[in-house]
Structure 1
Amino acid sequence: MQKYILSKKNQITLISGILIVIAFIAELGFHNEVIAKWALIIASILGVAPIAIQAWGALKVKVVSIDVLVTIAVIGAFFIQNYEESAIVTFLFLFGGWLEARTLNKTRSAIKELTEMAPEVALKQMDDGAFEEVDIWDVDEGDVLLVKTGAKVPVDGTVLSGEGHINEASITGEAVPVGKSKDSEVYAGTILENGTIQIVTDRVGEDTTFGKIIELVEEAQDSKSEAERFIDRFSQWYTPAVLILAIVVWIVSRDIELAITILVLGCPGALVIGVPVSNVAGIGNGARHGVLLKGSEVIGDFSKVDSIVFDKTGTLTVGNPEVAESKVYGESDLALSYLASVEKESDHPLAKAVVSYLDDVELFAVESTDVVKGGGIVAEVDGHRVAVGNESLMKQEGIYLDEEAQRDIEAFERRGNSLVLTAVDGELKALIGVRDQVRKGIKEDLQKLKDLGVKNLIVLSGDNQGTVDLVAGELGLTEAHGNMLPEDKSAYIEKLQSEGQIVAFVGDGVNDSPSLARADIGIAMGSGTDVAIETSDIVLMNSDFSRLPHALGLAQATSRNMKQNIVIAVGVVLVLLASVFFSDWMNMSIGMLVHEASILVVILNGMRLLRFRLKGDDGSKTLVAAKGKQE
């Protein structure tokens, strides 16, 4: 019976409201006090039933909840025959609960959007080679799947064949489609906008990046911050205190209506709901903008951060070396073609950068390749002896470096380049400078962090100090430290913390895991990798650095929003209680109306965070964009 009554709470609210309207029409319109009285009595009994059941459930676990206060107040008003008060109080309390649940559901829209975008079916290659549509749970690792234009990618996998552009907004928050071809990684829940691809399954179901994102956001929204835990403890003591106050007032004044009114006005509903709604809305906003915040505790700490420490490679820089500058000596002839031909034989990152840079030159067959450890490659190309490598290889080969070449080498190194020298038949022909490029727009993003109040922006790197200083100077960082091992970075972060600073560390989530664990806030530039999601406090999907200022601004806005809701909730209760003792107009119905209105105010205030956007952000990187594409 109790479950049935609670399941019909919304219908009871509606019936109570209708009965109250009938009562007022009967009394004011037709002066029929009998109908008015019985309508209010029935409304009171119906309305108090679900509230009393919830109160009894709380008392059984030794908790004096808000429902207990309202139940006592309504029963008291009923027995002193103040049926109007008892009916209105129960209706407003139930209506407030319905409104609260409805608006809270809206703050969880990020989860709803994510789950709606989760794939349900896949085209799986069967034993006879044909593709058949199967349920997503019938797909296993290693299965080959077909994805057509407009379809969702059903699993995390690797492209076997075909090409296309995929909208990865559900994973990265980036609405611009990404080109995919053989050996490219694809993620479940993303959408193939054009082309047709075949993929081999790497991860399925809850193990996919998309599944982990949903799980992470759900856990984050259900977690409790320090402020929430304090409010929970506070309400456990506050609610009984209000009950005792009401009893004392009744004993002293012998005014039962005054005591009952105090019970109603003292309900801390807005205080209990205000902080959670801010956290849920803040985390939901982050999820829609490619920022995964691992819980409300993270929001509180990150909003107060003093220093942000960065790894260099893959964080401040792209992580893929590129040719930054080059110089050719004498008649180039076919020197660059010979260089590209030799480097195409190597898997070294510098070689790949050179081949990419020289992708339009003629290539020749390479013979008699000799790899010189720590130096480079010497090979026969088109009948010529070609040496490609660093300065020590040139000396080993007896290549003469004149003053001009030596000046160029020093200048290239001073600008942070790794050098690739090319000699043909004993003569220097080309000098290539390769370096990891600074991310586009990162200087503006770092300035946004400063504008948000971050005092120190520090880079720690394993690269040589000169290269690190160049990056720091270009980006305007506070400090730069090179030649640091992972344990050195962790120790430096510990030093900052010992000075009383709240430190966030931004890294790739793999070799920087000691620093991510040591920092107050670990932020992974992880492209949605398993390691990033598991080890960090915040994940910037697709390694999108521009999401970091949004994350910090969002954390600060959420923290402010929590404080605003606490002030609103406490302020309303104090004003209501003061009005009971120092005014003649306050009564139970008005108090309950103001009380429920305050709950609505804190919920609406919290929901403002769903629309939060950092100043200057065009807002294009949202899941909404992805959903629009899907539709």
Structure 2
Amino acid sequence: MVMQKYILRKKNQIVLVNGFLLLVALVGHFILQNSYIVISSLVIASVIGVLPIAIQAYQALKVHVVSIDLLVTIAVFGAFLIHNYEESAIVTFLFLFGAYLEQRTLNQTRSAIKELIAMAPENALLQLNDGSFKEVDVEEVEEGDILLVKTGAKVPVDGTVLSGDGYINEASITGESVPLTKVKGSEVFAGSILENGTLKIRADKVGEDTTFGKIIELVEEAQDSKSEAERFIDGFSKYYTPIVLALAILVWVITRNLELSITILVLGCPGALVIGVPVSNVSGIGNGAKNGILLKGSEVVNSFSDVDTIVFDKTGTLTMGSPKVAEQSIYGTESKDAFRYLANIEKESDHPLAKAILESIGEVPTSLVTNTEVIKGGGIIATIEGHRVIVGNVTLIKNEGILLNPQIVTDIATFEKNGDSLVLTAIDDELKLLLGIRDQIRTGVKEDLKKLKAMGVKNLIVLSGDNQGTVNLVATQLGLTEAHGNMLPEDKSAYIDQLQKQGQIVAFVGDGVNDSPSLALADVGIAMGNGTDVAIETSDIVLMNSNFSLLPHALGLSKATARNMKENIVIAIGVVIILLLSLIFSQWMNMTIGMLVHELSILVVILNGMRLLKYSLKDDLIKN
């Protein structure tokens, strides 16, 4: 038992040794022309390689499972009995190497929970009976406690703001990049970050009951429910291997011809089947890696190839994830001065939209800003070069008695309909500028979505924590099937679960911590490469560098790889059936011819699989 565990732990090292010995055999045959070196290397490689495979086959048999490992073990022993050491060595190497590549990628999802827990808030400032505050562990906080949150701190609980104001980044909860203004009565979530200001909050939900706690719980539940599907070959071997074994025994009982029985076992063990699927898988994964796509194993490839519904997070996925000035209207003739005044005021502002405004305007001459008055929840009033300048939202402009003519009212309504956050600038009680700021749709996304539809995806759905109007606008622009806004992480995962219960095979594309439950629950989770480590590790597919255009290539590649695997399976099984039928019902079939056909079938499936290395989405779309 100890030795078995030791050998299984050393599988990766065995793969390296196997590969080295195969190389030595090639050198011995083609360069040194020394048969002793060739045979010795192949025999040692076969013996070392078959050990972990035979142990796994034995362990499977103990629980009454006839696995693919048993097929390989039989093939190796059969090859030994007929002194075909080359096939036994190659089969063990390719089988172990393919298993290594798959397991290496699949294991990357296991640390997601640790990453989530590490991001959870640990401390809180608790108000004591005398009004002072004491830092305590977040586990000590109870519902109803009063807490203080300072600039830069994580909100420790779900709660309600009792006093103070500030901007909170809720990207870890809603996925939205624009910080939100929080004032008395506002709701705050554990795990969000107070970027500016000071808040006194009442704890409404603590510990596992918080939204962030539920995110962790959802990921745990989703990953537990996501057991690996039994591979086709393992299921096939449950029936195929006993039939071949029974046939060989029957032949031996009837004919007493041991060599014939062994020949049946050798011909009946599909070496091409063992090699064909790993070659397709490795080639598909290799193509993906070359093109910036990480596919985490053959099971992911098969699942993604069958997807009929793709659900998208909005921010950072369909959109860039950072607000920009999308449109503007200018009133009057002093626009140059208006932009200069606006930029100088925004330089002194900590408002989350200030960066977008400054990026849009660019460098301007510096002007002295005096008499600055910050209007909470409204904007800023200041004096520049003797002019009274007001920068803020529509409410502030109206409260200051500034006239909005019909054209301005129409423009405001249009911008709001487009999902913009509005920033208005008035000089000396006259409106001069109207800016509409919103997150920008990624370049080329609409064309990429059309490609997904062309490849058979029936439903394209966006789920977002943003308001419904903004989400509807994105869906309309991109031609999506459905759009749902104001959704928290649990809402997204519940919606995905609902789709799955309806029989749809769902892929989810996202990039944030808030996306991790949905990434784990979906049949296929797809993470944008610049997203959080949690999203990437929880996912099944990663689009490196957050290149959305890689998504159609990933789907096309998955379909091509799954198709290639099926082709190799058909080739391998077909060859075995022909060999066995020829051995039984013809006079010309013998072990030599059978082994030659075996080798040719192995070459065919390898070459077929290697076609995936040159796979191109463009060629695939032309065929369709």
1:391 and 2:385 equivalent?
no
1:435 and 2:438 equivalent?
yes
From 374, 399, 403, the equivalent of 1:400 is 403
Q: Alignment length, in residue pairs?
A: 473
Q: Which moved more, 1:264-273 or 1:522-531?
A: 522-531
Superposed displacement of residue 571, structure 1: 0.7
Superposed CA deviations along residues 343-371 of structure 1, whole A, max 9, x for unmatched, are: 12123332212111111433312122222
- What letter corresponds to residue 465 of structure 1 in structure 2? Q
Q: Which residue of 1 aligns with 2:268?
A: 266
On the 8 A contact 1:52/1:67 being kept in 2, the answer is no
Secondary structure of 1:435 counterpart = strand
Cα 1:494/1:425, change in 2 over 3 Å: same
Instruction: Give, in whole Å, the separation in 2 of the partners of 1:17 and 1:236.
Output: 40
Q: Which residue of 2 aligns with 1:246?
A: 248
Instruction: Give, in whole Å, the separation in 2 of the partners of 1:360 and 1:59.
Output: 71
1:285 and 2:291 equivalent?
no
Superposed displacement of residue 309, structure 1: 1.1
Cα 1:347/1:240, change in 2 over 3 Å: same
Q: Which moved more, 1:254-263 or 1:296-305?
A: 254-263
Cα 1:342/1:561, change in 2 over 3 Å: same
Instruction: Give, in whole Å, the separation in 1 of the partners of 2:98 and 2:607.
Output: 9
Secondary structure of 2:618 counterpart = coil
From 329, 332, 345, the equivalent of 2:331 is 329
Instruction: Give, in whole Å, the separation in 1 of the partners of 2:375 and 2:504.
Output: 48
Superposed displacement of residue 386, structure 1: 0.8
Q: Which residue of 1 aligns with 2:533?
A: 530
Q: Which residue of 2 aligns with 1:381?
A: 384
Identical columns (%): 60
Cα 1:327/1:103, change in 2 over 3 Å: same
1:341 and 2:344 equivalent?
yes
Superposed displacement of residue 295, structure 1: 2.5
Superposed displacement of residue 73, structure 1: 7.1
Secondary structure of 2:461 counterpart = strand
Cα 1:291/1:18, change in 2 over 3 Å: closer
- What letter corresponds to residue 250 of structure 2 in structure 1? V
Superposed displacement of residue 514, structure 1: 2.9
Superposed displacement of residue 8, structure 1: 5.6
Q: Which residue of 2 aligns with 1:303?
A: 305
Q: Which residue of 2 aligns with 1:462?
A: 465
Q: Which residue of 1 aligns with 2:178?
A: none
Superposed CA deviations along residues 374-404 of structure 1, whole A, max 9, x for unmatched, are: 2111112122211101100101211111212
Secondary structure of 2:326 counterpart = strand
From 341, 366, 369, the equivalent of 2:369 is 366
Q: CA RMSD in A?
A: 3.9
Superposed CA deviations along residues 57-91 of structure 1, whole A, max 9, x for unmatched, are: 8667747554545645764xxxxxxxxxx46xx15
From 405, 411, 414, the equivalent of 1:411 is 414
On the 8 A contact 1:526/1:541 being kept in 2, the answer is yes
On the 8 A contact 1:73/1:263 being kept in 2, the answer is no
Q: Which residue of 2 aligns with 1:474?
A: 477
TM-score normalized with structure 2 length: 0.67
Superposed CA deviations along residues 268-316 of structure 1, whole A, max 9, x for unmatched, are: 2222222222222222222221112222222221111111111212211
Q: Which residue of 1 aligns with 2:558?
A: 555
From 576, 581, 590, the equivalent of 1:578 is 581
1:598 and 2:601 equivalent?
yes
Cα 1:558/1:384, change in 2 over 3 Å: same
Superposed displacement of residue 11, structure 1: 5.5
Superposed displacement of residue 451, structure 1: 0.9
Cα 1:346/1:9, change in 2 over 3 Å: closer
Q: Which residue of 2 aligns with 1:156?
A: none
From 496, 517, 521, the equivalent of 1:518 is 521
On the 8 A contact 2:21/2:41 being kept in 1, the answer is no
Instruction: Give, in whole Å, the separation in 1 of the partners of 2:449 and 2:471.
Output: 16
Q: Which residue of 2 aligns with 1:507?
A: 510
Superposed displacement of residue 52, structure 1: 6.9
Instruction: Give, in whole Å, the separation in 1 of the partners of 2:42 and 2:364.
Output: 83
Instruction: Give, in whole Å, the separation in 2 of the partners of 1:17 and 1:376.
Output: 81
Instruction: Give, in whole Å, the separation in 1 of the partners of 2:490 and 2:27.
Output: 64
Superposed displacement of residue 56, structure 1: 8.0
Instruction: Give, in whole Å, the separation in 2 of the partners of 1:584 and 1:272.
Output: 28
Instruction: Give, in whole Å, the separation in 2 of the partners of 1:382 and 1:46.
Output: 88
Superposed displacement of residue 419, structure 1: 1.2
Q: Which residue of 2 aligns with 1:147?
A: none
Instruction: Give, in whole Å, the separation in 2 of the partners of 1:294 and 1:455.
Output: 24
On the 8 A contact 2:320/2:440 being kept in 1, the answer is yes
Superposed displacement of residue 242, structure 1: 2.7
Unaligned runs of 5+ in 1: 23-38, 76-85, 112-223, 619-631
TM-score normalized with structure 1 length: 0.67
Superposed displacement of residue 322, structure 1: 1.5
Cα 1:285/1:20, change in 2 over 3 Å: closer
Q: Which residue of 2 aligns with 1:446?
A: 449
Q: Which residue of 2 aligns with 1:567?
A: 570
Superposed displacement of residue 99, structure 1: 9.3
Secondary structure of 2:617 counterpart = coil
Instruction: Give, in whole Å, the separation in 2 of the partners of 1:103 and 1:54.
Output: 10
- What letter corresponds to residue 548 of structure 2 in structure 1? F
Instruction: Give, in whole Å, the separation in 1 of the partners of 2:432 and 2:616.
Output: 53
Q: Which moved more, 1:314-323 or 1:252-261?
A: 252-261
Secondary structure of 2:514 counterpart = coil
User: What does 1:8-87 align with in structure 2 at a 5 Å threshold?
Assistant: 62=58, 64-66=70-72, 68=74, 71=77, 75=81, 86=82
On the 8 A contact 2:528/2:542 being kept in 1, the answer is yes
Superposed displacement of residue 236, structure 1: 6.7
- What letter corresponds to residue 421 of structure 1 in structure 2? L
Superposed CA deviations along residues 534-579 of structure 1, whole A, max 9, x for unmatched, are: 2222221221111111111111111111111111111110000000
Cα 1:53/1:411, change in 2 over 3 Å: closer
- What letter corresponds to residue 437 of structure 2 in structure 1? V
